[in-house]
Amino acid sequence: MIRAIVTDIEGTTSDIRFVHNVLFPYARQHLAAFIQQHQQEPAVAEILNALRQEIDQPAADAEALITVLYGFMDEDRKSTALKALQGMIWRDGYVSGQFTGHLYEDVLPALKAWQAQGIALYVYSSGSVAAQKLLFGYSDAGDITPLFTGYFDTHVGAKREANAYRTIAAQTGFDPASLLFLSDIHQELDAAQEAGWNTVQLIRGEPDTDSVHRQVSRFDDIQPELFTS
């Protein structure tokens, strides 16, 4: 029996084009000014120090770090420091109403139905927990954060590594066999499956012929009650 569902965001609950065409350009446009204005604030300073450790350059100044971050953006590096800064920058855009977090129309009804069935809902994304809460807190459908019990980001590990899913299972207290992970990326689902999870792949376009996972095109095609192990 499925007791908890953990969902990815980009390409799963939300159109990948929203992330790449709205969020990423907004963060890039405002990155330098944000760091220059806020680098002395404790939360930002902590992230910048973590970035210095990540690149093994303890004496790097703000300008050097900005250059590094632009490089990370270009290569789509899953840097925890970059994701944290992006989340801080995106907050201004959400709060000011410049954009709302995209949701596929089939997502919210399914989430509500699963919660009503007593299934706990979680999010696991490479974006920071703060960024996740912003997207769902300022979504096209309004604030849907009360639906979720918890959020996970790369602090628990990379999404293509089985240990990350073992950590999530331990932190939620659920047996892996009672957990269901939703993602559009089969390598992430491979890792979850290796950790003993159930999996479903959301395919919003052409089928993934390299995947061994159950594929659906909409959230309302997912039937948690059919999972018995």
| Chain segment 82-111, per-residue pLDDT in tens | 999 999 999 999 999 999 999 999 999 999
Residue 182 pLDDT: 98
The answer to whether residues 188 and 160 belong to one domain is: yes
- For residue 164, give its domain range: 4-15+102-226
pLDDT exceeds 60 at position 158: yes
Distance CA 132, CA 59 (A): 31
Q: CATH no. for residue 59?
A: 1.10.720.60
Pair 78, 140 in one domain: no
* pLDDT tens track for 27-75: 999 999 999 999 999 999 999 999 999 999 999 999 999 999 999 999 9
What's the pLDDT tens digit per position in 17-31?
999 999 999 999 999
Indicate whether 73 and 116 sit together in one domain. Answer: no
Looking at the structure of the chain, the number of domains it has is 2
pLDDT top residue among 45 and 128: 45
Pick the last residue of a domain from 76, 95, 114: 95
Asked whether residue 11 carries a pLDDT value surpassing 60, the answer given is yes
Q: Is 19 helix (H, G, I), strand (E, B) or coil?
A: helix
Whole-number pLDDT of residue 229: 54
Q: Is there a single domain that holds both residue 166 and residue 218?
A: yes
Q: Per the confidence metrics, is the pTM higher than 0.75?
A: yes
Helix or strand (DSSP H, E) at 172: helix 162-172
pLDDT at 118 over 70: yes
10 and 23 together in one domain:
no
Whether residue 201 sits in one domain with residue 110:
yes
Integer Cα distance of 34 and 30 in angstroms? 6
Query: Do 11 and 24 share a domain, yes or no?
Result: no
The CATH number of whichever domain residue 11 belongs to comes to: 3.40.50.1000
Of 69, 95, 121, the residue at which a domain comes to its end is: 95
